[in-house]
Amino acid sequence: MKVIFGLLLLVTTPFLSAFDFSQHNIPIAEIKSGGPPKDGIPALLHPKFVSADRAGFLQADDRVLALVYNGEAKAYPIKILNWHEVVNDDIGGKPVFVSYCPLCGTGMAFDARIRKKRYTFGVSGLLYQSDVLMYDHQSESLWSQIKQEAVTGALTGTRLSLLPLIHTTWGAWKREYPKSQVLSTETGYSRNYSRDPYAEYAQTDRLMFSVNKRDRRYPPKSWVLGIQHEGETMAYPFSELERGPRFFRHTLGPDTLHITYDPDTRTVRVQNPQGEDLPSVVAYWFAWAAFHPQTQVYTHPSSKK
């Protein structure tokens, strides 16, 4: 055993025997044990929610991942996701699952229906490129969060449908959606949700697990908003967005995107001209660049002078 960034890691042979690797589309040698075994980080299968006015465990500046569908709004506090990483849920009549990888800073929500069947997901205890590998309970295929597809097992190559998820503060979300439901700390597990086990990790440039490619243009754990749209991949570094303005238009592929950045809450929204949110992900720069080494990068006009 060893301790890194205050996290106790079990250093053992990777728990590969728990899954089927007869089919795969990533190198097996690049799949690493993250420490905990399969389900050692317990996903939430029957999450409980409270109304916004009963979420006294949240401070205004606490970060949440937030989702709206069919008029229903829900917030998933990162202080809970740090300990569970996957929440299986329904919103507005749609089966979804929300995932968060503390090592990559990536929160992503997906449609839980695959080939017209509902799937539920757990945490495998394995990593690829420092990013969480989830597994589904129905086929036990492994799924890469950032890659957005099954990478081993019977469903290898099957893509997930990414949903528009907002990474923001609880105070900002509550103001916009005062009737939002909030993931409750009554998870059925004994965890200290007021403690961030990754606080030290987030403040350094060091990685706990290696990636194949490191892009040095920005600090590894600086935030970027990444988007894949019409065959194009783009990263919007927060350090560039902070140069202003709060709203601007940016062409990506054949379309003009509307980008809104709130520096007070460090919240980015990407919308089409009709005002509809587009799927995107806030990530640490190292993680986005590792999975998208050919990504384009937005730079503020003043950066080019």
pLDDT at 191 over 80: yes
Confidence of residue 299 (pLDDT cuts 50, 70, 90): very high
DSSP notation for 127-181: EETTEEEEEETTT--EEETTTTEE-BSTTTTPBP-EE--EEEEHHHHHHH-TT-E
pLDDT tens digit sequence for 41-68: 999 999 999 999 999 999 999 999 999 9
CB 123 within 8 A of CB 113: no
Q: What's the CA gap between 106 and 126, in Å, rounded?
A: 16
Torsion of CA 97, 103, 105, 110, to 10 degrees: -20
Q: Is 64 exposed, middle or buried (0-12, 13-18, 19+ CB in 10 A)?
A: buried
Phi, psi (rounded to 5 degrees) for 240: -80, -40
Using the structure block, give the residue that is written with the tokens 């937030």. 66
Give me 38's structure tokens: 């399969």
pLDDT tens digit sequence for 101-118: 999 999 999 999 999 999
Q: What's the CA gap between 25 and 210, in Å, rounded?
A: 19
Secondary structure of residue 73 in the 3-state scheme: strand
Rg of the chain in Å (alpha carbons): 19
- Count other Cβ atoms within 10 Å, centred on residue 261: 21
Nearby residues of 136 by Cβ (< 8 Å), 6 or more positions away: 114, 119, 120, 121, 122, 143, 150, 155
Confidence of residue 14 (pLDDT cuts 50, 70, 90): very low
According to CATH, where is 2.102.10 located in the chain?
36-182
DSSP notation for 16-50: GGGS--SSBSS-GGGEEE-SS-TTSSPPBSS--EE
Torsion of CA 288, 76, 177, 172, to 10 degrees: -60
pLDDT tens digit sequence for 217-274: 999 999 999 999 988 999 999 999 999 899 999 999 889 999 999 999 999 999 998 9
Torsion of CA 167, 170, 171, 176, to 10 degrees: 70
The class that CATH gives domain 36-182 is mainly beta
pLDDT at 8 over 70: no
Q: What share of the chain in percent tops pLDDT 90?
A: 87
- Length of the chain counted residue by residue: 305
CB 163 within 8 A of CB 274: no
Phi, psi (rounded to 5 degrees) for 60: -60, -35
Question: If residue 267 lies in a helix (H) or strand (E), which one and from where to where?
Answer: strand 267-271
pLDDT tens digit sequence for 123-140: 999 999 999 999 999 999
Q: Prior bond to 178 cis, omega within 30?
A: no
- Mean of the per-residue pLDDT values of the chain: 93
